Amino acid sequence: MSNPKVQAVAAPAPVAVPTISVASLLPWLLFAALLALVALYFVSAEQGATSVFSGTGVHEWVHDARHLLGFPCH
């Protein structure tokens, strides 16, 4: 029986984790908050007294979300 060749393997270089500053993250957080507020408006208030769109299309799209979040709609 012959012995297999053994080769030394170098350890991989450590991966540098980049740091993210709050200043570079703030615009994305504000954008996400704005999207969340728009979504909350459509789920909670659209098709009511402050309706922006006429008809029941928006209501039908967010109907299940209304019930999931506890907003009454009928």
Domain ranges of the chain: 22-69
Please state the pTM of the whole predicted model.
0.57
pLDDT of residue 28: 95
Instruction: Tell me the longest C-alpha to C-alpha distance in the chain.
Output: 87
Alpha-carbon gap, residue 74 to 52, rounded angstroms? 19
pLDDT of residue 24: 93
For residue 46, give the nearest of 57, 31, 36, 33 by alpha carbon.
57
Segment 5-56, tens digit of pLDDT: 777 788 888 999 989 899 999 999 999 999 999 888 877 776 666 667 777 7
